[in-house]
Amino acid sequence: MSLMSTGDEGRHTRKRGVLGPQWDHHDAFTVEELGQILGLSRPTAFKMVARGDIPALRVGKRLIIRRRTIERLLSEPEVA
């Protein structure tokens, strides 16, 4: 994630990667949001996290997935 100038006003905005604009203000995601982003059902998203296919952080009882983890996953070349 990098900062870029928007022009003469001196304000900065975050340049985002492969995620859609609806996720611009999120730096971390729940497993449910992960499922929405990847087009997976809730149970499938939880299974992928539980298996370790997608790394997650446990914060109390919640599982959190970092933005860069999802961006990296979506940026990987397709497997034929």
pLDDT digits (tens, 9 = 90+) for 29-47: 999 999 999 899 999 999 9
Eight-state DSSP code of residue 77: P
The per-residue pLDDT for 10 is 45
For residue 18, the model assigns a pLDDT of: 73
- Residues 29 and 55: their CA atoms lie apart, in Å, by 12
Residue 24 CA: distances (Å) to CA of 8, 14, 46, 59: 23, 8, 23, 22
**Structure pTM?**
0.68
Grouping H, G, I as helix, E, B as strand and the rest as coil, residue 37 is helix
Q: By the 8 A CB rule, do 18 and 71 touch?
A: yes
Structural domains for the chain: 20-75 (1.10.10)
